[in-house]
Structure 1
Amino acid sequence: MSRLHASLLLSSALILGSVSAHAALPDEATLYKNPQCGCCDAYARHLEELGVEVTIVDDVELGDIKQQAGVPYGLGSCHTIEMGEYWIEGHVPMEAVQALFEQQPDIDGIGLAGMPIGTPGMPGPQEAPYNVYAFTDQENAPFMTLAP
C-alpha cells in the first residue's frame, strides 16, 4: 500500500470517527423549562449546533416532568430534556450526553445537579469536577466525572 493510500485511509477513518460520535445523538429532543430561564435556551442552542432539533416546552409543571423522568429528589436542575429513550437533567456537558448514547445503558437518564459554571448554557470556566449521575426510578448512581 502506498503512503498516499495509507494517508487517505487514515484521514477517512478520522473523519468517519468524528461523524459517528455525533451521529450517536438523536435528531430531536424536547426541553422542558421555566419560561423565564435564559440559560435553558442557551443549552437548547448548543444542542441545535450539534444538529439536534429542539422543541422547547415552557408551559408545563416541571416537578411533574421530573417525577415522570425519574429524577432523584434533590438532584434536579433548571430544565429536563427528553431525548431518544433517555432523560437529560440539567446542564450536562456534551461529553457525557454523547457517552450516554454511545453506551446506551439500561437507565432512565443522566443528570448534573444545579447550574454549574462552565457547562453548556452557563458561561465561565469550569471550576470543579462535574459529577454526572445516572438515574432510574428516583435512584441515582455515578455515571462519570469530568475534570476541569
Structure 2
Amino acid sequence: MSNTATHLPSDLPRRRLMTGIAASLALAAVPALASKPEKIAVEVWKDPNCGCCVDWIKHMEDNGFTVTVHDSGNTTARAKLGLPTRLGSCHTALVGNYLLEGHVPASDVHKLLKQKPKALGLTVPGMPVGSPGMDGPDYGGRKDPYDVLLVTRNLMNSDVSTSVFTSYR
C-alpha cells in the first residue's frame, strides 16, 4: 500500500482556511441582505405633461418607494380620497391607507408611515419652489418656505382640518 494514498495533500490546511473565510464572509453578508428594507408602493395620479410631477416621482423612487403612475390627471382621485380642492396640488398619491397631495418630501412620508396617525394623509398645497420636484435647476436654487400639513377628518361631521406636520423654512 502506498503512503501517498493515506496522506492528506499539503494544501488541505490552506483550502480549509480559504473555505472558512469564504463561509464567514457569506454569513456576514446575510444580515445586510436580510435587513434591506422592501420598497414601499405608491400610486400616483398626475397630468401626463407635468414635469415637476415626474421629478417628485424620481425623488420618491430615490428614497425607497416604488411608484405606479396614472397619467389621467388627479382631480377625480383627489375627490375620491376626500381631499378638498383648497388643499390641492398638481398630483395626488396613495401610500398605504394615506393620501399624499403635492410635493411632500419622502422623509415626511416615511415619518407618517412610522407614526401611523389617524389621518387622511399629508399635503403640500400649491407648488412651493424648493420642495421635492420643484427644486430643479430651472429654479436657480431658490427655496421658498412651506409647510407639510397633516390632514384629518372629523368623524362626526366629515369636516377636514389640517395641522403642521413639518415646516420647511
- Could you say which TM-score interval applies, normalised by the shorter chain? 0.7 to 0.9
Alignment of 1:70-109 (within 5 A): 70-109=82-121
Distance 2:40 2:146 in 1: 29
- Find the counterpart in structure 1 of residue 163 from structure 2: 142
Structure 1 stretch displaced more, 94-103 or 111-120 = 94-103
2:64 pairs with 1:43: no
Q: Whose radius of gyration is greater, 1 or 2?
A: 2
Q: 1:75 to 1:31 in 2, by over 3 A?
A: same
Tell whether 2:78 aligns with 1:66: yes
Task: Give the C-alpha shift of residue 131 in structure 1.
Answer: 4.3
Residue identity in the other structure for 1:142 = S
Query: What SS is found at the alignment partner of 1:82?
Result: strand
* Structure 2 partner of 1:53: 66
- Contact preservation (8 Å) 2:56, 2:132: yes
Counterparts of 2:39 and 2:119 in 1: how far apart (Å)? 17
Name the CA distance, whole Å, in 2 between partners of 1:32 and 1:121.
Answer: 15
- TM (normalized to structure 1)? 0.75
% identity of equivalent residues? 33
Cα deviation, residue 126, structure 1: 2.4
String of CA shifts for 1:36-88, please: whole Å, max 9, x gaps: 101101111111111211011012x5221111111123110000011111110
> Is the CA contact (8 Å cut-off) linking 1:112 and 1:132 kept in structure 2?
yes
Structure 1 unaligned blocks of 5 or more: 1-15
Residue 133 (str. 1) matches residue 147 (str. 2): no
1:34 is aligned to 2:55: no
Query: How far is 1:106 from its partner?
Result: 1.1
Which gives a bigger RCO, structure 1 or 2 (Cα 8 Å, sep 6+)? 1
> Does the C-alpha gap of structure 1 residues 62 and 105 become closer, same or farther in structure 2, counting only changes over 3 Å?
same
Structural RMSD (CA): 2.4
Residue of structure 2 equivalent to 1:122:
134
Separation in structure 2 between the aligned mates of residue 138 and residue 40 of structure 1, nearest angstrom? 28
- Secondary structure of 2:127 counterpart: coil
SS at match of 2:119: coil
Do the aligned residues in 2 keep the contact of 1:110 with 1:143 (CA within 8 Å)?
A: no
